[in-house]
Chain A
């Protein structure tokens, strides 16, 4: 029972995600004191998701990801939007190109292909 619970919820999530299409509510990522908050966001597999990256710092940042081929400058106290996906299950790293130690992950639940 415990073992199938995650599978079931993943399947349910997948179904919900599929029916919701790209209309999923945007996910917000904050840059605060040179760190991503939250540093890990969970995204369903197979859906296009809109991210809102908000920079609360006095320094500009660059939201960048080699895993997702994303790259966008976020001015100090500014915000940008970025579409990602549809993604396969796995972990995708993103970082602040202006402050390389700040990193975060997009986590897509499910079995890896």
Chain B
């Protein structure tokens, strides 16, 4: 019944610029690209990280395709809350992995920095959290990627005349990846002495922000209470939809109108990871002093 109208819709949609597609894809890609860039920076000097992070990207893309293909089934599961629960689950997995990485770094970061300086090449570290790096990359790529796949697939199967939109999507993809590369190159400019403390803070803030996002998804599914909606509204100061607002959303968890449960998750995650980092770091330090 809606066939004729549907085709008209798509034709009308195509007539809006390929720029629209470019921007939509770009916005999704930068979220993943920024996280991958920081994970790459934070694991600097660890041998084999490139392979593991590449594997994470590959598996993430495969996961994204799966999520896109099974979107309807996922939506229908858990009495219609499947998508929100899946998102919350993979976000919390990423939070756990980022925490693991940072806690590991708090006892190995200093040696890593000195060794990178001394030998000038990557270091074989013992119980290194390489799987953590892979899982974080996988999750970041899968989450944003599934939206891109779903969106681009709909365009690609829409019939003839969609070349412009697909091109727009491709340019958006490349532009987003370039922004991630720029951030990575920028990170590398930080002197080694401060490098791992900067990436450590970035990873800590990203993890807290992702935990807050997970809280929002659990609240969206009706599982957690909001504990107050819109505790403040800073959207006039910094619109969350702007490029800067969106980048800060990924990097530090910026939310213009946060709910109580988001703040709670943010604060608890931040305090827990920070506390564990300090504790492990101090224990490691004492062990070294005693040994020498």
Contacts and interface: CB of A to CB of B under 8 A. Distances in A.
Interface of A: 22, 33-34, 48, 50, 56-60, 62, 66-73, 75-76, 78-88, 90, 92, 97-100
Contact of B230 (A22, A33, A57, A67): A67
A66 B6 contact: no
B151 A66 contact: no
B24 A60 contact: no
B286 interface: no
Given A33-B5, A76-B154, A80-B75, A62 B147 contact: yes
Q: Which 6 residue pairs are nearest across A and B when measured between Cβ atoms?
A: A83-B222, A58-B6, A69-B216, A66-B240, A81-B80, A75-B71
Contact of B83 (A50, A69, A80): A80
Nearest to A68: B229
Interface of B: 2, 5-7, 9-10, 12-13, 20, 23-24, 27, 71-72, 75, 80-81, 83-84, 87, 146-147, 150-151, 154, 158, 216-217, 219-222, 226, 229-230, 235, 239-241, 255-259, 262
Given A59-B13, A73-B71, A100-B20, A88 B221 contact: no
Contacts of B12: 34
Contact of B150 (A57, A75, A87): A75
Nearest to B261: A69
A90 to B, nearest CB: 7
Contacts, number: 104
Give the interface SS of chain A, mostly helix, strand, loop or mixed: loop
Nearest to B259: A69
Given A72-B84, A83-B221, 10 more contacts: A34-B12, A48-B222, A58-B6, A66-B235, A67-B230, A68-B257, A73-B83, A75-B150, A83-B222, A86-B226
A50 B262 CA distance: 20
Nearest to A50: B222
Contacts of B7: 58
A65 to B, nearest CB: 9
Contacts of A87: 229-230
Contacts of A22: 222
Nearest to B2: A56
A50 B230 CA distance: 18
A34 B257 contact: no
A73 B147 contact: yes
